[in-house]
Amino acid sequence: MIEKIQSLRIVPVVAIESADDAGPLADALAGGGLPIAEITLRTDAGLAAISSLADRAGFLVGAGTVHSVDQAKQVADAGAKFVVAPGFNPKTVQWCLDNAMPIFPGVSSPTDLETAMEFGLKIVKFFPAEQIGGARMLKALQGPYGDMRFIPTGGIGLDNLSSYLALPSVVACGGSWMVKPELLRDGKFDEVKRLTSEAVALASK
């Protein structure tokens, strides 16, 4: 799974308002070259959307904005293949490790990274990336934390994607610019596919 995420280089971060949009969304993302989505629990439809995509052939679905052990259990039962959290909740991380659920908790400081290392984690979410120093901050962290790898998320788009992907410590970048809620709400899945293809082309350079 990690190899697949690394090969794709981008993880679309989706706040979906209707589970009925999950199928067309997955078609658009896969058609644009990204058969992957982090469906967040920011909306009531998140859990149902994860469930509807869990058994979709060739598509990797994970859960984002997971704040607690209970939520981790819910997304695991729904079929999520990985968990992403905005911060570092030790109880949630431990539950995921105990239940063989890949988790990428959010970190924003060296102290957070020390905690991640204590739990034996090798890959973490760097969030909110742009607001806490962006690619320059990540480059600075590579020195003392050379064994850690990152999935930066937050404020990333076409204008700065390349600066993150150029760093050897970056596995992939999380982003929502190709899956904005209004695009899904208005059924503009052709535009989602176009923006996804554009992002994939840039990431491949």
Decide the pairing of beta strands 103-104 and 83-84: parallel
45-104 pLDDT, tens digit each: 999 999 999 999 999 999 999 999 999 999 999 999 999 999 999 999 999 999 999 999
Tell me which CATH code domain 2-197 carries. Answer: 3.20.20.70
What is the per-residue pLDDT for 199? 98
Q: Are 96 and 130 in contact (CB under 8 A)?
A: no
* Mean pLDDT rounded to a whole number for the chain: 97
The fraction of the chain above a pLDDT of 70, given in percent, is 100
Domain ranges of the chain: 2-197
Q: What is the C-alpha to C-alpha distance for residues 104 and 32, in angstroms, rounded to an integer?
A: 25
What is the per-residue pLDDT for 156? 98
Catalytic residue flag (residue 188): no
Output the six-digit token pair for 168. 């050897």
95-118 pLDDT, tens digit each: 999 999 999 999 999 999 999 999
- Beta sheet of 149-152, edge-to-edge order: 106-107, 123-126, 149-152
Query: Phi/psi at 45 (nearest 5 deg)?
Result: -85, -5
164-185 pLDDT, tens digit each: 999 999 999 999 999 999 999 9
Closest C-alpha to 185, from 6, 16, 13: 16
Catalytic residue flag (residue 125): yes
b/e 5-24 (16+ beta carbons within 10 angstroms → b): beebbbbbbbbbbebebbee
Closest C-alpha to 130, from 104, 164, 105: 164
Instruction: Out of 17, 81, 118, 125, pick the active-site residue.
Output: 125
pLDDT for residue 205 is more than 90: no
Instruction: Out of 38, 118, 182, 193, pick the active-site residue.
Output: 38
